[in-house]
Amino acid sequence: MPASSTATAVPTAPRTVGPRPPLGRTRARRRETAADIAMMAPPLILVAGLIIVPIGIAVYLSFTDWNGFTSPPHTIGFRNYTRLIHDPAVKHAAFLTLLITAIGTIACNVLGLGVALLLNRNTRINAILRVLVFYPYVVGAVILGFLWSSILGTNGAVDAALGAHHSLPFLSDPKWAIATVVCVIVWSSFGVNVVLYLAGLQTVPDNVLEAAKIDGASPWQTFWRVKLPMLAPTVTVNVVLVVIGLLRVYELILALTAGGPAGETQSFVYNILTSSFDNTQLGYGAAQSVVLMVFIVVVTIVITAARRRSEQAVAA
């Protein structure tokens, strides 16, 4: 008789299940997550309400011809953007803003670093000078604008001192007015750069400076090869802050020249507000605002990326 075949079961390894976390620990994690969400919610709501939502509204209005009164706004596509490309007032305002930004960024950082090096020692007179240098930044742009307008304007303090036959057109001649605006902006802005550079100089270790002095480095070599490389993050912060501030300059020009003479000192932000409120073209002003916002973001990214590349090259 044939042998009967019996089926043999293949044994399987028992499934291992990890220990489950205790119920109390799970509840504690949920409470921590809920607490984290509760703490993050207020700043997220503020960012959304004060930044993201207004940006979204501005982008939407830039594609409309809204004048601030009609409802709802009428969509016109990219007509506002094509218009600002050919608008001579926008071109002049953009050129003036870029000119102020370029000259002001260089001047504020050079003056700020130079004055910071002079006031780096902790003496009583240096403490007083630091306050005097920083004071214009605290006063406010509008007050400074009216102050310098009363000094340099027609029938101002300078004209009264020079006499009627020797008056200087600081604010009445277009070229003089642009130069005056740049000088006043630099004078009122570089105080904060001095403070930031002083803070950066305080972080330079004394032993590094002593080692450079022992090696026979001159003061210029010490500055160029020791202090300046260690101030690289401070330089980046100063450049970014000055660029953003000068691209948005408005209050000082409003108080100093009111955009004159004949609109020659109207900055880009000044032109945005003129288009939006004086001419009741909020859609056109929103388009200019979006262009300025994108330009500021791009410039900030480029400056930061260039600084990182230079740091990586030095480290390599």
- The pTM of this model reads 0.82
**Residue 47 CB partners (closer than 8 Å, separation 6+):** none
Rounded-to-integer distance, Cα 174 and Cα 270, Å? 17
Boundaries of domain holding 98: 87-315
- Mean pLDDT, range 10-20, rounded to an integer: 53
pLDDT band for position 6 (cuts 50, 70, 90): very low
Does residue 190 form part of some domain?
yes
In a domain, 219, yes or no: yes
Between CA 222 and CA 204 the distance in angstroms is 11
Predicted pLDDT at 23:
59
For 155-281, where are the alpha helices, taking DSSP H only? 157-162, 174-202, 206-214, 219-222, 228-230, 232-247, 251-256, 268-273
Flag whether pLDDT at 81 surpasses 80.
yes
Separation in Å, CA 1 to CA 4, 46: 9, 89
pLDDT 10s digits, 144-168: 999 999 998 888 888 888 776 677 8
Any domain includes 8: no
Structural tokens at position 92: 């002049």
In a domain, 150, yes or no: yes
CB atoms within 10 A of CB 33: 10
Q: Is residue 146 part of a domain?
A: yes
CA distance 208 to 222: 10
> How many domains are there within the chain?
1
CB of 100 closer than 8 Å to CB of 87: no
- Asked if residue 158 is part of any domain, the answer here is yes
Q: Is 23 part of a structural domain of the chain?
A: no
> In the numeric block, which tokens belong to residue 21?
């976390």
Residue 270 lies in a domain: yes
Question: Rounded to an integer, what distance in angstroms lies between the CA atom of residue 185 and that of residue 144?
Answer: 9
Question: Rg (Cα) of the chain, in Å, rounded?
Answer: 31
Higher pLDDT, 247 or 6: 247
pLDDT class for 19, splitting at 50, 70, 90? low
Tell me how far apart the alpha carbons of residues 40 and 193 are, in angstroms, rounded to a whole number.
Answer: 32
Which residues, in sequence order, are CB contacts of 115 under 8 Å at separation 6+? 133, 190, 194
- The CATH number of residue 186's host domain is 1.10.3720.10
Q: For the ranges 23-32, 41-50, 211-220, 256-265, which has the lowest average pLDDT?
A: 23-32
